[in-house]
Amino acid sequence: MKLLIGVAAAGALAWMTSGQDPVPLKLPSGFTATVVNEGVGKARHIVVDASGTIFVKLSKLEKGKGLAILRDTDKDGKAETVSYATGYAGTGIAIWKDWLYDSSDSSVYRYPLKNGAIDESKRETIVTGLTFQREHGSKSITLDDAGHLYVNFGAPSNACQERNRQLGSKGMEPCPILEWYGGIWQFDGAKKNQKQADGVRFATGIRNAVALDWNPASKQLYALQHGRDDLHRLYPSLYTDEQNAELPGEEFLLVKKGSDFGWPYCYYDWQTSKKVLAPEYGGDGGRKVGICEGKDLPLLSFPGHWAPNDLLFYTGNQFPARYKNGAFICFHGSWNRSPLQQRGYLVAFIPMGKDGKPSGKYEIFADNFAGGEIMSPGDAQARPVGLAQGADGALYISDSINGKIWKITSRK
């Protein structure tokens, strides 16, 4: 499999900024960013329905509610009304036919959706009884064309050590966490009150896939994996601080039924294009492959710790033709790249071929969310976290700090 690694040089893009925003985004020439709303709360994933109503899932309750609903009633690009609904926080949200799906960290629900409004009195519980986990507990979701629901079950661990994140602690073998976590489960999107055991473990060996989407063009599931942390801190004799800052790669995955991407036994080194043995399982700092030889490889990889938090395949017609069916990826930004500067805090674009694989290197599409170079995530003025496409083909981006929402439009 050919792996595509790289980024378009910043000089190859003519940046255009919006004067309306005190921290203007950097976009390719021909694109404009409009601030739809300055802040609706601690935003996570977002969707936009056919009426143009924006639904924003919140990670913390705002006014006692976990879902923000934004409406641009006069069609000027800004949301004049913001209301709130549901009584639980979470991450995942999706629209399938006439239903709005959303998730808490322990359940997935759906609501009838009509003309930009949900009927809370007719809420259906689709998946329930999930054990809450503080580490990688968010349940991101997507649905395929047939109505199958896919749910991310992030591993409540860094590398399945006997003592999590402890210096020198060995990895458990086999890793018991993989029975119920570290993968993607498939459910019937219309069946009520399913438990995790009622679903199918669709893919495994994925530490945490907050970014998850169905590609309607290739009719396949894709995800991005958050790579493991602490290579230098846990194994200082094998890795330098600088290696720890760049490794492992954040993997763009084509997820098929039965896929195994190797976590926790393996990690992906984007600099050598190899999946190598983790130090907890006898790895030697990046040379030894061992059992990782047979694990599934990514389609493409990004540098370490960028934190991919959403994925969207663009199906609209507003943007230039080269963006059609391509993948937009929202990076929340790093926290553990010391002594180097933090990275991520951007939206990337990957052109996709008809075979459902990348047809070129990734490009930086939207940048400057952080407001400049930063050494700590606490210095970031915004952190992009969610992506959505409007009926008119515009791209929407959410921010997790204050819940700012941008709308990106193109004049082609």
Range of the domain at 177: 10-410
Beta bridge partners of 215: 220
For the ranges 17-31, 131-145, 190-204, 387-401, the lowest mean pLDDT is seen at: 17-31
Eight-state DSSP code of residue 285: S
244/236 Cα distance (integer angstroms): 10
Mean pLDDT of 318-330: 97
Tens digit of each residue's pLDDT (9 = 90 or more) over 259-274: 999 999 999 999 999 9
355 exposed, middle or buried (CB, 10 Å; 0-12, 13-18, 19+)? exposed
Q: What is the CATH number of the domain that holds 274?
A: 2.120.10.30
Long-range contact set of residues 57-64: C-beta below 8 Å, sequence gap at least 24: 57/89, 57/90, 57/91, 57/92, 57/93, 57/102, 57/103, 57/386, 58/89, 58/90, 58/403, 59/89, 59/90, 59/91, 59/138, 59/400, 60/89, 61/87, 61/88, 61/89, 62/403
Contact 39, 410 (CB under 8 A): no
Query: Does some domain include residue 348?
Result: yes
7/18 Cα distance (integer angstroms): 24
Eight-state DSSP code of residue 335: S
Question: Does the pLDDT of residue 27 top 50, yes or no?
Answer: yes
Query: Does some domain include residue 325?
Result: yes
Question: Does the pLDDT of residue 238 top 60, yes or no?
Answer: yes
* Count of structural domains, the chain: 1
Average pLDDT, the chain: 93
Ranges of H-type helices in 274-387: none
Query: Does some domain include residue 3?
Result: no
Query: Does some domain include residue 16?
Result: yes
Helix (H) or strand (E) holding 253: strand 250-255
Query: Does some domain include residue 150?
Result: yes
Q: Is the dihedral of CA 376, 378, 381, 386 positive or negative?
A: positive
Query: Does some domain include residue 313?
Result: yes
Q: Is the dihedral of CA 197, 99, 310, 301 positive or negative?
A: positive
Query: Does some domain include residue 302?
Result: yes
Question: Does the pLDDT of residue 10 top 80, yes or no?
Answer: no
Cα→Cα distances 309→138, 209, 313, 386, Å: 11, 8, 14, 7
Tens digit of each residue's pLDDT (9 = 90 or more) over 167-200: 989 999 999 999 999 999 999 999 999 999 999 9
Query: Does some domain include residue 252?
Result: yes
182/185 Cα distance (integer angstroms): 10
175: Cα separation from own chain's centroid: 24
Beta-carbon count within 10 A of 312 CB: 23
